[in-house]
Amino acid sequence: MSRKTALITGVTGQDGSYLTDLLLKKGYKVIGVKRRSSSFNTKRIDHIYNDIRQSKNFIPYYGDLTDSSNILRIIQSTKPDEIYNLGAQSHVHTSFEIPEYSANADALGTLRILEAIRILKFQKKTKFYQASTSEIFGNTEIPQNENTPFRPRSPYAISKLYAYWTTVNYREAYNIFAVNGILFNHEGPRRGETFVSRKITRAVVEIYKNKRTFFTLGNLNAKRDWGSAKDYVESMWLMLKAKKPSDYVISTGKSFSVKKFVEEAFKYVDIKIIWKGKGLKEVGVNKSNGKIHVKIDPVYFRPTDVDELRGDSSKAKRELKWKPKTSFRQLVSEMMESDLNEIE
């Protein structure tokens, strides 16, 4: 039986690295597409380079979702059986500052890949996974499922919604096996340090190790459905193994506030946080010594935010036999343990 080839955009990101690990273990050859950078940006996949058995089946390519000819050339030369489009400008707050680039990479980048599949006549050969996001729901009814109306509230979410409908259209118009994975927040030790979950765990560890006294956050009351990235990448693979292409919500079904995430992180190092004040004056205080460890900075507020995201992944459980394995508390603990070991 010949080895399957998977092409992953955004391979150096959190999801790309976890998916690469999974597919290599399953016997795939993995084509990893990464952007050229003047600084090293391969930390999350360095362990693959250092493993002789795995590295021979991992082939990195330089690529960019804003470059049509580059995408076409990579797909033409590698002839992948599966494409996982995980590359994106994925920071919601940043998308308000660079909306045009966000649209170019996140919306049109998806179109460029699907067009390449169509132009190369790979419809019957290549299956396509689009990394969608719960942000496309915006402020809608809870919990959100595959039938919930979309109401995106950021340039990032709007771009991802264009990509979602483009994926559906190419599936229906050109008979491409193309699916959307509508993944709710998924975190882990490999999460980028500017994302709120990892920002919290790193800051808490630094406070615990007396490297700083406080850190700042934006909307403490925003509720999210927090899952484990390692659990969620398995659902991507399962979607492309299904008999028919379809779109799936991937979530835990439980939501917790940013404030609760902070409390759990501090709890891991035996610090109890109590909250004092209201609005912009609200602070997180160490109950044992009265020190302020958490403050609010309006710079982190989004022009338009989403109050709560909580998914209903019944369809994925029913059709893909997928379900989350990691609880909210376990997730925070894993991230805290990793940062405790990493930060000296």
Walk me through the domains of the chain, giving residue ranges and CATH numbers. Answer: 5-188+225-253+307-326 (3.40.50.720), 196-221+257-305 (3.90.25.10)
Q: Which residues, other chains included, contact 85 with Cβ-Cβ below 8 Å and sequence gap of 6+?
A: 9, 10, 65, 109, 110, 113, 128, 129, 130, 131
Judge contact between 154 and 135, C-beta under 8 A.
Answer: yes
Which residue type is seen at 333?
S
Say how many C-beta atoms besides its own lie within 10 A of residue 123's C-beta.
16
Give me the percent of the chain exceeding a pLDDT of 70.
97
| Interval 275-285 mean pLDDT | 96
Using one digit for the tens of pLDDT, what is the confidence trace for 139-185? 999 999 999 999 999 999 999 999 999 999 999 999 999 999 999 99
Closest CA to 184 of 136, 118, 216: 136
**pLDDT band at residue 53 using 50, 70 and 90 as cut-offs:** low
Average pLDDT taken over every residue of the chain: 95
| Residue 178 to residue 129: CA distance in whole angstroms | 6
Asked whether the predicted pLDDT for residue 49 surpasses 80, the reply is: no
Closest CA to 86 of 236, 195, 231: 236
Tell me if the pTM is above 0.75. yes
Catalytic residues: 133, 135, 156
**pLDDT band at residue 56 using 50, 70 and 90 as cut-offs:** confident
Handedness of CA 154, 155, 160, 164 (dihedral sign): positive
Q: What is the DSSP string of 272-332?
A: -EEEESSGGG-EEEETTT--EEEEE-GGG--SS--SB--B--HHHHHHT-------HHHHH
Quote the pLDDT of residue 52. Answer: 59
